[in-house]
Amino acid sequence: MGIMGLLTFIIVFGIIVVVHEYGHFYFAKKSGILVREFAIGMGPKIFSHIGKDGTAYTIRILPLGGYVRMAGWSDDTTEIKTGTPVSLTLNEEGKVIRVNLAGKKIDQTALPMNVTSFDFEDKLEITGLVLEESRTYSVDHDATIVEADGTEVRIAPLDVQYQNATIWGRLITNFAGPMNNFILSVLVFMLLAFVQGGVRDENSNHFQVMDGSAIAAAGVQNNDQILKINDYKISNWADLTSALAKITAKSKEAPTLSVTYKHGSEKKEITVQPKKDGNRYLLGVSPTVKTGFWDKVIGGFTAAWSTTVRILSALKDIVFHFNINKLGGPVAIYNFSSQAAEQGLPAVLSLLAMLSLNIGIFNLIPIPALDGGKIVLNILEAIRRKPLKRETETYITLSGVAIMVILMIAVTWNDIMKLFF
């Protein structure tokens, strides 16, 4: 169970994060923003390739999610301390096309330099000591820099930075991550409907009857209509579950229910005792299943919508009645993944769809450092008709990061305490 749970956690979490980051990646490029790196995984790099689009595509050793690095986004800056030894690769025109900070020889003809100053954003030049003589070289607009860990990425001139994109380009880039999570959830719910052979029809009072249940013994058959339970009229699944909850709320023993149902064109009335299951009572019926192709497709949207409503309701409860026990972090997700792995593919797909929606909605919360916080800054900029100072935006983002780190540590510690103690 441990290995399968871990693999399920890695795959589910990885898919959700990579799909989220791809949303940012795609719309950043459409908005003219240079994506310096698209990484799958975290930690040390094990593979890297620079595409024709200038993006470094990397795979990193820890298979936990991924990220994108946009030019000029947040704290994505190039730092070279005075005196740092580098090697420069020049083109035929004498312009620098690669700055190597890694210390490993990549180009045998590279020119060694001890850097005294550089500007890769505006003037595009680098100055330093070459054979004890100070020299300045022009840097090509599409030059690359080999970072200390060996990752080669493009430099970030001002014209391809996040701040230089239009306000609407930045807004859709920030929204695209959560948007991709919503799309993923709908598609996975659709796939789940096809895997299960259909979708539950919760808007009907036609029900499937479970074999061996008390209501089956009383003569109710599959697809019969339940019209009334005691004095409660039944039009759909929500009516039935609500009626049962109200009738049995204060019952210590299973009460006798009066059930009116319709078989074909004939109305019948029976008495049934529901079966106790923990703190609830079960009648022994479930919603009918719609098996048509379009039923399954539409079912993906309706399942995503109903799940969204439940998540928003839970979020409202957390905001107005905060309790850290209502939150869950990576440890809780791992625990859910282990349970889903035991239950099979449908449970894993359901978890993937639900978590994707959760992460999409969570990222839209207007906290600095989350996508929702960035969207609020975009809207404020549109209203003010002038951008915030880059330093101000950085400080706001860092404050959000601090809040998220503290919250994540608290939630993770709480998850560990609940799981092991």
Catalytic residue numbers read 21
267 DSSP β-pair partners: 262
3-state secondary structure of 183: helix
Residue 265 one-letter amino acid: S
CA dihedral 217, 220, 223, 227 (to 10 degrees): -140
Question: H helices then E strands: how many in the chain?
Answer: 9, 17
CA dihedral 334, 335, 336, 342 (to 10 degrees): 100
Q: Is the dihedral of CA 380, 355, 195, 212 positive or negative?
A: negative
3-state secondary structure of 67: strand
118 DSSP β-pair partners: 126
What is the C-alpha separation between 269 and 218, in angstroms, rounded? 10
Spatial contact of 255 and 244, defined as CB atoms under 8 Å apart? no
CB atoms within 10 A of CB 357: 27
**Segment (H or E) for 227:** strand 224-229
Question: For the chain, what's the residue count?
Answer: 421
